[in-house]
Amino acid sequence: MTAMIDIAALDDIPRQGARVVKTEAGCVAVFRTADDQVFALDDRCPHKGGPLSEGIVHGTSVTCPLHNWVFDLATGIAKGADEGQVRTYPARMENGRVLLDVSFLQRRSAA
């Protein structure tokens, strides 16, 4: 089941940038691309735990600020020679607002 909730205004996230949503299950990085698509991923690089929200966003990819691993924002899969995947969460933009599926939190609290 999905549970989309309104997180913030799109304009609170800089274009080609990200902001962080704090949750019980750790921080989620919400990205905004140059063409205003939004993506949500765990704010933690599987390599050494770098905050992906602080990486440079290019196209629909982000480069981790610590050691330059590159991840596809839509799938969370590492690009190039590196192997790894970041968990992704459904997110979308609607009427200038950013919506995030927080069902992963409900599953957690129900468990």
Binding residues for another protein, per CB under 8 A? Answer: 7-8, 12-17, 19-25, 27, 30, 33-37, 48-51, 54-60, 63, 65-66, 68, 70, 72, 74-75, 102, 105-106, 108-109
Q: Are 98 and 4 in contact (CB under 8 A)?
A: no
> Is 48 or 83 the residue whose CB approaches another protein more closely?
48
Tokens linked to 30: 């919400």
Q: What residues does 32 pair with on adjacent strands?
A: 17, 38
At its nearest, how many Å lie between another protein and the CB of residue 69? 10
* Whether the Cβ atoms of residue 41 and residue 52 lie closer than 8 Å to each other: yes
Tokens of 10: 């799109």
Measured from the CB of residue 75, what is the shortest distance to another protein in angstroms?
5
Closest by CA to 39, choosing from 7, 68, 1, is 7
Residue among 1 and 24 whose Cβ is closer to another protein: 24
- The minimum distance between CB 78 and another protein, in angstroms, equals 13
